[in-house]
Amino acid sequence: MAKSAIKKSALRVSENGLEKKTSSKRLEVLKTYKIYIGGQFPRTESGRYYTPVNKAGEKLANVCLSSRKDFRDAVVAARGAFGGWSGRAAFNRGQILYRMAEMLEGRKEQFISELLRQDSTKAAAQKELNLAIDRLIYYAGWCDKFQQLFSAVNPVASSHFNFSVPEPMGVVAIVAPQGDGLLGLVSAIAPVIAGGNTCVVLASETKPLCSVTFAEVLNSSDLPGGVVNILTGKPAELISGMVNHMDVNATIYCENNSSVKASIREQSAVNLKRIYFYDHLNWQKDEGQSPYLIMDTQEIKTTWHPIENIAGAGGSY
Amino acid sequence: MFINGSWQKPLSKKYFDTINPATEEKLSEVAEASAADVDKAVKAARNAYDKTWRKMPARERAKYIFRISRMIQEKARELAIIETLDGGKPIRESRDFDVPTAGNHFFYYAGWADKLEYAFPNRQTTPLGVAGQIIPWNFPLLMAAWKIAPAIATGNTVVLKSAETTPLTALKLAEIIQEADLPPGVVNIITGAGATGAAIVNHPDINKIAFTGSTDVGKIIQRAIAGTNKKATLELGGKAANIIFEDAPIDQAVEGVINGIYFNQGHVCCAGSRLYVQESIAKEVIRKLKDRMESLIVGDPLDKNTDIGAINSRQQLETIHKYLQIGKKEGADMYESSCPLPRKGFFCRPTMFTNVAQSNRIAQEEIFGPVLSILTFRTDDEVIEKANNTPYGLSAGVWTDKGSKIFNMTRRMRAGVIWANTFNKFDPASPFGGYKESGFGREGGLHGLLPYLNLVNH
Amino acid sequence: MATAGSIRTLPDFSLSPRIDQVGVEERASRFTKRSIKKETKMNGLKLVLNMIDLTTLEGKDTDGKVKQLCYKAMHPHDAVDGIPKVAAVCVYPSMVKVAKKAVEGSGIKIASVVTAFPSGQAPRDIKIRDTKYAVNEGADEVDMVISRGKFHAGEYNFVFDEIAAIKEACGTARLKVILETGELGTYDKVRRASDIAMHAGADFIKTSTGKIQPAATMPVTLVMLEAIRDFYYKTGKMIGMKPAGGISKSKLALHYLVMVKETLGSDWLTNEWFRFGASSLANDVLMQIVKEKTGLYQSANYFSVD
């Protein structure tokens, strides 16, 4: 846990006069970093863990080493949540994303402390956190607008009303960027769920702390369980299972490993899932956010319906 | 073959026959492009891209494409007859649908060429480079138009391969392109079979693959271009659900079903091959379908009265026959029209199966022929679940007089094109393309531009 | 009149099948893509001529005019052999006697428009007397108009009962019920009115009086043919169809025949079950027949204008 938070609570205790100077003796309660599936925080079913270390060689935590089974469970949760989430009013999705930003803001200290432990500087951590919050706000605003921008009423020649609208693809598997443990995660998730998809995210292997804490933010943000599922573990173990899964509609890969990219593309052919490589995006910059990123996980649906033309301008009736 | 603005003999020195499927007579011999021929075409396209097309002011590009459109209109009758001879489709369809729609497609995209900055808010666009395009045999000229028009309007150059059994109208289109004075190499049209297609897919200097065809080949392509930066648009198979509710305008629905499955001999990736009828009206609808089926005329594609022409190839006819056997074996009731068939040529009676179960292969697999599978349902939720219960997601249809139900159905059906109280409608302004294993990317309309462009920040 | 027993089996006419306008017009235009040539065309043309209700319905009709029309009906074009007669001559009730006498022995039927044609705005007893008068004068067929006002007001029972009453008044004369589709507004209503008419006892349903535009069109006729087919499916009873007004060219008439054949089948392709209400169509058909025989395109000057 963040040290500052502990100090604060210790202070409060002493002010209450119940105890004096207990902080030095009190045993710190360590947080268990669990994964997030279907709105629950299970441990990995495999019972495995790994222990990432920072540059200073300090152990970050014992983190779940998620298995393919965990991924499959998460896909089931995501599929189950898709109908409800995509069926919600876009306005309501916007409210929930905004709520996520609020909750993130409220737990600033904790995230900063985690970022610091994951080799960030104070200024960089502050910046990353602020960007992450702002990014959620940015996409909260897009939820009920991008459809207007990317829809079309098509002037077909026959007597039909014809329109094209974006619709969410379904379940999206995301391999989050290794750097920007918080910002990268948020930036990859937000456009996907803003558009009504549900997702399973594999967090940064080396910087996983914020992802689990972010799951706690999600869990307190009115976001229905299963919309975002967060796993920790090793991409090398999991990617192929993510790309092979027949019930995943799209895969987003945020690293620039060309052999991994080639294998993702090859394996995606199994059900022709859509694949996107966000290897060139700098999440810290403006290019890290865009409605075009929302559109990546949208399908365009075109609907036709006849237009009755009786009595219209001397119609043929 | 049409490479770099001129007619060239294949380096392979090989030719293959193209026949009239209605008479099994040979129409002509066309060149079989080898990898070396593909390379030559790609080099021409690259050269044209670098030296001419990319640099040309967009409004000038537009004028070339408008010109092509006009020439297609001028030569409409000739194109229609060739299309029907080579592919077996009824002349009524090639004359009234394929050829005009192809011309219109060029006209529509021509206008986009100098307006791309309006299409993508806050972004500039750049072309991708050389597009390798592979088209199927069901709408030979129209598919060529769907591929070429948006590609060159957005500033790309093209190497297009027509289908093995239907190369002629694409070559005729090449003549038009030549007559229109399009700069050499901007559009190169080659002929060949699967190996030629593979050479295009695997060519290292191609930036974009656009393919229309079977899902199996689509997957092969997706695997083949793994590890490259090639972009892809795949427009693949389908097994569209066409749903009739008891409150539907029944007679128009019956007509829509007929048009949905028997249009172009059922060689349509978006064909309404799975019919779901609400049980309360199933008897009536089936009776009407049978009556209507009897009025369909199967025969000489060049006869204006023909509704159903020749199956495109012997191989496809065999595939259809195989599925008819499967359907019977699975216990479905087969009903075929009593119409006479010509003695020569590849013909198939319009056929429907009743008593079909969701798990039957004829209800799951794409047959690509004039074969309808009829299933029944009771509730809205049931039919939605059944309609979406397929790996495909290209198109779907729904027939009901109730507006709110239409919107419920059209929203919940997972398919790229939904026809409500109509079926098998196409328009250059209307995006077309699938969900799931029916492929990705859109062709037509504003949304058909993106597959040929990179978006860049200002 | 509908008895209590039959009411139980009557459909709710407000539930008549819905018609999608765009779809039905597309289907109708498909028939016009059928091409009819040579022998088939000749047979078709003769059939068309044989299905015509040669019509004069004017305030200025006189005995003389009607007699001339009747002669034309019997001898459409004596210059050429093998030309069939028309099916019927259609006149106002006051002209029935004259017409009946004029066509005597020819087999040509006399049809009379009744029920305060064309508006139908008269009390029922007058309509019944109108009908009985025409039948007594010798009309073989009676063409009534429905009360469109009542129909639009949703008083389907009124419309139904009126048709049933006229049917009773007809005795053995065949009853054609004119829907006046140009005043109904939508195909849904055309379908509904067709269903009411057939269930109430119509032997024929007919599109128009010819006094209102638009009169018969292919889509509107198709909607009525489909209603006839559905009625036949349900009851096994054949009902005749008569598009009237607006069909003046042979080519269009042939397209109508294609439509009848593909919608109802060949059984309906006789003048017992299908009629054209027209006056100028006959001459166009004659010109086409002569053209087919001689290979020469014809001039109207060579065909009598009655």
Query: Which DSSP helix (H) or strand (E) runs through B157?
Result: strand B157-161
Local confidence band at A14 (pLDDT 50, 70, 90 cut-offs): very low
Q: Do B191 and B295 belong to one domain?
A: no
Residue B212 resides in a domain? yes
What is the per-residue pLDDT across B315-365, written as a single tens digit (0 to 9) for each?
999 999 999 999 999 999 999 999 999 999 999 999 999 999 999 999 999
Q: Do A306 and C219 touch (CB under 8 A)?
A: no
Local confidence band at A28 (pLDDT 50, 70, 90 cut-offs): confident
What is the DSSP-derived secondary structure letter of residue B31? E
Q: For B361-405, give the secondary structure using H, E and C.
A: HHHHCCCCCCEEEEEEECCHHHHHHHHHCCCCCCEEEEECCCHHH
Task: Let me know: does C180 contact C245? Beta carbons within 8 Å.
Answer: no
Residue B54 resides in a domain? yes
Task: Let me know: does A308 contact C22? Beta carbons within 8 Å.
Answer: yes
The arithmetic mean of pLDDT across residues C91-96, rounded, is: 97
Of C23, C33, C233, the CB nearest to B252: C23
Q: Do B448 and B412 belong to one domain?
A: no
Which of C12, C14, C19, C27 should one mutate to test binding to chain B, selecting the residue with the greatest count of B CBs within 10 A? C27
Q: How far is the CA of C49 from the CAs of A92, A121, B43, B146, in angstroms?
A: 69, 97, 68, 48
Question: Which one, of C66, C18, C28, lies nearest residue C191 by Cα?
Answer: C18
Q: What residues of chain B score a pLDDT lower than 70? A: none
Number of domains in chain B: 2
Cβ-based contacts of C218 with chain B (< 8 Å): none
C211: phi then psi, degrees, rounded to nearest 5: -100, -10
Residue B335 resides in a domain? yes
Domain spans in chain A, listed from the N-terminal domain onward? 34-306
Q: Do B219 and B278 belong to one domain?
A: no
What is the per-residue pLDDT across B363-421, written as a single tens digit (0 to 9) for each?
999 999 999 999 999 999 999 999 999 999 999 999 999 999 999 999 999 999 999 99
% of chain B beyond a pLDDT of 70: 100
Query: Which DSSP helix (H) or strand (E) runs through B64?
Result: helix B58-74
Q: Is pLDDT above 80 for A3? A: no
What is residue A185's predicted lDDT score, i.e. its pLDDT? 97
Q: Do B427 and A162 touch (CB under 8 A)?
A: yes
Cβ-based contacts of B433 with chain A (< 8 Å): 300
Residue C181 resides in a domain? yes
Q: Do C18 and B249 touch (CB under 8 A)?
A: yes
**Mean per-residue pLDDT over chain B, rounded:** 97
Question: Which one, of C262, C191, C258, C253, lies nearest residue C228 by Cα?
Answer: C191
Contact residues for B307 (Cβ-Cβ < 8 A; gap 6+): B90, B92, B262, B296, B297, B298
Local confidence band at A306 (pLDDT 50, 70, 90 cut-offs): very high
What is residue A36's predicted lDDT score, i.e. its pLDDT? 98
What is residue A309's predicted lDDT score, i.e. its pLDDT? 77
Minimum CA–CA partner of C186 in chain A: A310
Cβ-based contacts of C33 with chain B (< 8 Å): 92, 96, 304
Q: Is pLDDT above 60 for A20? A: no
Domain ranges, residue B380? 241-420
Q: How far is the CA of A155 from the CAs of A162, B103, C23, in angstroms?
A: 7, 17, 19
| B117 noted as active-site residue | no
% of chain C beyond a pLDDT of 90: 91
Token pair for residue A34? 């669990």
What is residue A11's predicted lDDT score, i.e. its pLDDT? 41
Q: Do B252 and C33 touch (CB under 8 A)?
A: no
Q: Please report where in the chains the tokens 């009903």 appear, as a residue.
A: B335
Residue B428 resides in a domain? no
Chains that touch C (3 or more CB pairs under 8 A): A, B
The arithmetic mean of pLDDT across residues A8-14, rounded, is: 43
What is residue A310's predicted lDDT score, i.e. its pLDDT? 57
> Using CA atoms, how far apart are residues A253 and C264, in angstroms rounded to an integer?
61
> Using CA atoms, how far apart are residues C180 and C119, in angstroms rounded to an integer?
9
Contact residues for C105 (Cβ-Cβ < 8 A; gap 6+): none
> Where are any strands of DSSP class E within B256-370?
274-278, 333-336, 351-354
What is residue A278's predicted lDDT score, i.e. its pLDDT? 95
Q: Do B277 and B357 belong to one domain?
A: yes
> Using CA atoms, how far apart are residues B78 and B41, in angstroms rounded to an integer?
27
Q: Do C22 and A316 touch (CB under 8 A)?
A: no
CATH homologous superfamily for the domain A34-306 = Aldehyde Dehydrogenase; Chain A, domain 1 (3.40.605.10)
> Using CA atoms, how far apart are residues B284 and B278, in angstroms rounded to an integer?
11
What is residue A13's predicted lDDT score, i.e. its pLDDT? 43
B7: three-class secondary structure by DSSP? strand
Contact residues for A25 (Cβ-Cβ < 8 A; gap 6+): none
What is residue A49's predicted lDDT score, i.e. its pLDDT? 96
Contact residues for C123 (Cβ-Cβ < 8 A; gap 6+): none
| B235 noted as active-site residue | yes
Question: Which one, of C182, C174, C215, C177, lies nearest residue C197 by Cα?
Answer: C177
Token pair for residue C201? 């006892």
What is the per-residue pLDDT across B181-210, written as a single tens digit (0 to 9) for each?
999 999 999 999 999 999 999 999 999 999
Question: Which one, of A2, A62, A59, A3, lies nearest residue A35 by Cα?
Answer: A62
Token pair for residue C103? 């066509």
Contact residues for B99 (Cβ-Cβ < 8 A; gap 6+): B72, B76, B79, B80, B83, B141, B142
The residues pairing with B212 across neighbouring beta strands, listed in sequence order, are: B235
What is residue C279's predicted lDDT score, i.e. its pLDDT? 86
Which of C21, C190, C207, C220 should one mutate to test binding to chain A, selecting the residue with the greatest count of A CBs within 10 A? C21
> Using CA atoms, how far apart are residues B319 and B290, in angstroms rounded to an integer?
23
Cβ-based contacts of A160 with chain C (< 8 Å): 22
Q: Is pLDDT above 50 for C2? A: no
Domain ranges, residue C71? 18-290
**Lowest mean pLDDT: which of A35-39, A153-157, A277-281, C130-134?**
A277-281
Local confidence band at C8 (pLDDT 50, 70, 90 cut-offs): low
> Using CA atoms, how far apart are residues B130 and B43, in angstroms rounded to an integer?
9
What is residue A317's predicted lDDT score, i.e. its pLDDT? 45
User: Greater confidence, B82 or A1?
Assistant: B82
Local confidence band at C70 (pLDDT 50, 70, 90 cut-offs): very high
Residue C7 resides in a domain? no
Question: Which one, of C223, C219, C212, lies nearest residue C245 by Cα?
Answer: C212
Is 0.90 exceeded by the ipTM? yes
> Using CA atoms, how far apart are residues B414 and A270, in angstroms rounded to an integer?
19
Cβ-based contacts of A162 with chain B (< 8 Å): 427, 429-430
> Using CA atoms, how far apart are residues A83 and B185, in angstroms rounded to an integer?
49
What is the DSSP track for A66-109? Answer: --HHHHHHHHHHHHHHHHHHHHS-HHHHHHHHHHHHHHHHHTHH
C178: phi then psi, degrees, rounded to nearest 5: -90, 125
Number of domains in chain C: 1
* A157 reaches C (C-beta below 8 A): no
The arithmetic mean of pLDDT across residues A182-192, rounded, is: 97
Local confidence band at A311 (pLDDT 50, 70, 90 cut-offs): low
Helix, strand, coil content of chain A in percent (nearest 5):
45, 15, 40
Residue B68 resides in a domain? yes
Instruction: Report whether the peptide linkage leading into residue B350 is cis, meaning its omega lies within 30 degrees of zero.
Output: no
Query: Which DSSP helix (H) or strand (E) runs through A131?
Result: helix A122-142
CATH number for the domain spanning C44: value is 3.20.20.70
A76 burial (CB, 10 Å; 0-12 / 13-18 / 19+) is middle
Beta strand B208-212 with B231-235 is parallel
Minimum CA–CA partner of A299 in chain B: B435
Local confidence band at A25 (pLDDT 50, 70, 90 cut-offs): confident
Contact residues for C31 (Cβ-Cβ < 8 A; gap 6+): C218, C255, C256, C258, C259, C262
Token pair for residue B331? 């216990």
Q: How far is the CA of C205 from the CAs of C2, C53, C157, C171, C181, in angstroms?
A: 19, 14, 18, 18, 11
What is residue C306's predicted lDDT score, i.e. its pLDDT? 75
- The sign of the CA dihedral B81, B87, B91, B93 is negative
**Lowest mean pLDDT: which of A184-188, A232-236, C13-17?**
C13-17
What is the per-residue pLDDT across A253-266, written as a single tens digit (0 to 9) for each?
999 999 999 999 99
What is residue A23's predicted lDDT score, i.e. its pLDDT? 55
What is residue B362's predicted lDDT score, i.e. its pLDDT? 96
Question: Which one, of B313, B317, B426, B293, lies nearest residue B369 by Cα?
Answer: B317
C150: three-class secondary structure by DSSP? helix
Q: Is pLDDT above 80 for A17? A: no
What is the DSSP-derived secondary structure letter of residue A27? P
What is residue A5's predicted lDDT score, i.e. its pLDDT? 43
Token pair for residue B33? 């492009």
Minimum CA–CA partner of A146 in chain B: B121
Which of A156, A160, A161, A316 should one mutate to test binding to chain C, selecting the residue with the greatest count of C CBs within 10 A? A316
Task: Let me know: does B224 contact B217? Beta carbons within 8 Å.
Answer: no
Question: Which one, of A234, A268, A254, lies nearest residue A183 by Cα?
Answer: A254
Q: Do B158 and B253 belong to one domain?
A: no
CATH number for the domain spanning B360: value is 3.40.309.10
Q: Where are the alpha helices (DSSP H) in B155-281?
A: 168-179, 194-202, 215-224, 250-262
